[in-house]
Amino acid sequence: MKRSTLVLLIGILAIVIVAGCLLLLSTNSLRAASAVTPPARTPAQINLLTVFLTGLLTGGLTCLAVQGGLLATTIAQREEQKLEDRAKNNGNALPILFFLFSKLIAYTVLGLLLGWFGSLFQLSLTTQVLMQIAVAIFMLGTALNLLNIHPIFRYFAIQPPKFLTKVVRNQSKQKDFFAPVFLGAFTIFIPCGTTQAMMALAIGSGNPLLGAAILFAFVLGTSPIFFLLGYFATKLGDVLHERFMKLAAAILIFLALYSLDGALALAGSPLTFRTIFSKPQAVGRQEISSEPTLALTKGGYSPTSLTIKAGSLVTLHLINSNGQGCIQAFTIPRLGIQKVVPVGSSGIVRFTAPLKPGQVPFMCGMGMYRGIINVI
Amino acid sequence: MTRKKFKITGMHCVSCACDIDWSLEDVAGIVESKTNYATQEAEVTFEQNIISEQKIITIIGSIDKRYQAKIL
């Protein structure tokens, strides 16, 4: 087998193995992390996988155009200095691998910064709602731009200032072998649509480790395709490119609506996507309690409905056995109550039930895991 | 030195704008190029006795067949 083919196969295998292991590891370390740091504001398990898949299926292609072009320039300049067959022996796999590893590290650090920046805006309900709406709008705008709906959506794509792009350009002119490494890191200044949406997600997570994990998962997802296509340096047909753009847009819209739905619930709106599309739950016969207990678990809150007497003084016991991420931020938007109960601990919320009978929703800090308090 | 604005359609992402600038600035006679993805406009500074607007339009089209440029 030719040496270059061997390097290529090793490269692909390495990326797939590293991807699998690190994704598992990062999910587990997130569980530990969210126990000691301020509650992460994203259901970690769901989003990381979606993020990785977005990168895998669409991110690699949408970014390949110029980031790949940059890489191709450095490779071409390497070959100018050698005889063609010597270049073929070593193959182009190594510079691409260097490029991708460097990009991975740079983006993970960026995710750390973005998540930390997001966490500065603390748990005020209003801020959280605004943040989620902003993230949803940005993702929707990016998706609509990917679908070429209207030129106005082009403004959702952030173009880095000229002086930054000049630096990236100068790096690509170097015939140095380490140029790909610098290039990989500098690509954070020329992110494409899907990458920017992921950056928005990282900010919205409000947790540096989660932000880092999100961008890490995304870049990891883009790597296999980037590597394969970069290696063969072939341009994919226009039709396939169109299909990938549509898939990226669809995933972004899904993430945007999910974020928006949570924002609506947190804002105390009785109308959210879930209430419109799901059948109202039948309220079973329930014991009225003035001291109910609510368990915070991995899958949400249990039970999902509580019954209390109108106008009464209620002492709610919250026990967190293994509730991760936003579940730790127990919220009753209508009553303006938010109590953070870290995993493995318990807490108490005291309030006076509203005088009017009705339903008062409770939910996690991002509006995603929900339940109902029946006031009778 | 002349500065002219061009309308460029067919850029599907921000990176395309950067790509156009880099390619143009490599051409003899072109001093600077500032392409904006959102407005779809490029401002090119060049020496008119070395390169013409028409030639610039041709070069842009050769970078990627989707790019179509015209003088504004």
Q: Do A159 and B36 touch (CB under 8 A)?
A: yes
- Of the two residues A144 and A177, the one the predictor is more confident about is A144
Mutate which of B13, B16, B31, B63 to test chain A, going by most A C-beta atoms within 10 A? B13
Amino acid, res. A257: L
Q: Which residues pair with A350 in a beta bridge?
A: A315
Residue A66 has pLDDT above 60, yes or no: no
Residues of A in contact with B16 (CB under 8 A): 65-66
Q: Do A154 and B34 touch (CB under 8 A)?
A: no
Report d(CA A116, CA A122) in Å as an integer. 11
Q: Which residue has the tokens 């009017």?
A: A356
Predicted local confidence at residue A38, as pLDDT: 43
**pLDDT tens-digit series, residues A18-30:** 555 555 544 444 4
The first and second tokens of residue A100, run together, are: 């991708």
Helix, strand or coil for residue A371?
A: strand
Candidates A299, A107, A119; CA nearest to A204 is A119
B31: left (phi over 0), alpha (psi -120 to 50) or beta: alpha
Residues of B in contact with A169 (CB under 8 A): 22, 25
Predicted local confidence at residue A176, as pLDDT: 52
Q: How confident is the model at residue A239 (pLDDT cuts 50, 70, 90)?
A: low
Interfacial residues of A (vs B; Cβ cutoff 8 Å): 62-63, 65-67, 69, 148, 151, 154-155, 157-160, 162, 165, 168-169, 172, 190-193, 245
Q: Do B40 and A66 touch (CB under 8 A)?
A: no
Residue A307 has pLDDT above 80, yes or no: yes
Candidates A371, A295, A297; CA nearest to A332 is A371
Which residue is closest to A169 within chain B, CA to CA? B22
Q: Which of A91-95, A359-363, B12-16, B35-39 is the least confident region?
A: A91-95
- Of the two residues A14 and B69, the one the predictor is more confident about is B69
Residue A69 has pLDDT above 60, yes or no: no
Query: Which of A62, A66, A159 is facing B19, going by the closest CB pair?
Result: A66
Mean pLDDT of chain A: 71
Q: Which of A50-54, A227-231, B31-35, B47-51 is the least confident region?
A: A227-231
Report d(CA A95, CA A75) in Å as an integer. 8
Q: Is B13 on the interface with A (CB under 8 A)?
A: yes
Predicted local confidence at residue A39, as pLDDT: 44
Interface A–B counts its CB contacts (< 8 A) at 53
Q: Do A151 and B21 touch (CB under 8 A)?
A: no
Which residue is closest to A152 within chain B, CA to CA? B38
Computed on alpha carbons and rounded to an integer, the radius of gyration of chain B in Å comes to: 11
Q: Which one of A67-76, A88-97, A289-298 scores highest in mean pLDDT?
A: A289-298
* Long-range CB pairs of A2-11, under 8 A, 24+ apart, other chains included: A3/A89, A3/A90, A3/A91, A4/A88, A4/A89, A4/A90, A4/A91, A4/A92, A4/A93, A5/A91, A7/A90, A7/A91, A7/A93, A7/A94, A8/A91, A8/A93, A8/A231, A11/A93, A11/A96, A11/A97, A11/A227, A11/A231
Residues of B in contact with A245 (CB under 8 A): 12
**pLDDT tens-digit series, residues A129-138:** 777 777 778 7
Q: Do B38 and A193 touch (CB under 8 A)?
A: no
| Min Cα–Cα distance to chain A from B28, Å | 16
Compute the Cα dihedral for B6, B7, B8, B14 and give only its sign. positive
Amino acid, res. A152: I
Q: Which of A45-49, A334-338, B21-25, B47-51 is the least confident region?
A: A45-49
Q: Is B36 on the interface with A (CB under 8 A)?
A: yes
> How large is the greatest C-alpha to C-alpha distance in chain B, in angstroms?
32
Predicted local confidence at residue A9, as pLDDT: 61
Candidates A342, A349, A307, A308; CA nearest to A322 is A342
Contacts of B14 (CB under 8 A, 6+ apart): A157, A158, A159, A160, A190, A191, A192, A193, B37
Q: Do B12 and A63 touch (CB under 8 A)?
A: no
Apex A305 CA angle, A302 and A309, nearest 5: 130
Query: Which of B16, B18, B38 is facing A165, going by the closest CB pair?
Result: B18
**pLDDT tens-digit series, residues A321-360:** 887 667 878 889 888 888 878 778 888 999 999 999 998 9
Predicted local confidence at residue A87, as pLDDT: 44
Predicted local confidence at residue A269, as pLDDT: 76
- Of the two residues A103 and A314, the one the predictor is more confident about is A314
Which residue is closest to A172 within chain B, CA to CA? B22
Q: How confident is the model at residue A89 (pLDDT cuts 50, 70, 90)?
A: very low
The first and second tokens of residue A322, run together, are: 């293994």
Predicted local confidence at residue A29, as pLDDT: 42
Q: How confident is the model at residue B52 (pLDDT cuts 50, 70, 90)?
A: very high
Q: Do B19 and A165 touch (CB under 8 A)?
A: no
Enter the ipTM: 0.84
A244-258 burial: b if 16+ Cβ within 10 Å, else e: bbebbbebbbebbeb
Residue B5 has pLDDT above 90, yes or no: yes
| Min Cα–Cα distance to chain A from B54, Å | 25
- Of the two residues A93 and A62, the one the predictor is more confident about is A93
Task: Label the pairing between strands B41-46 and A370-375.
Answer: unpaired
Q: Is B34 on the interface with A (CB under 8 A)?
A: yes
Q: Is the peptide bond before A191 cis (omega within 30 degrees of 0)?
A: no
CA distances (Å), origin A135, targets A18, A142, A252, A336: 30, 11, 11, 23
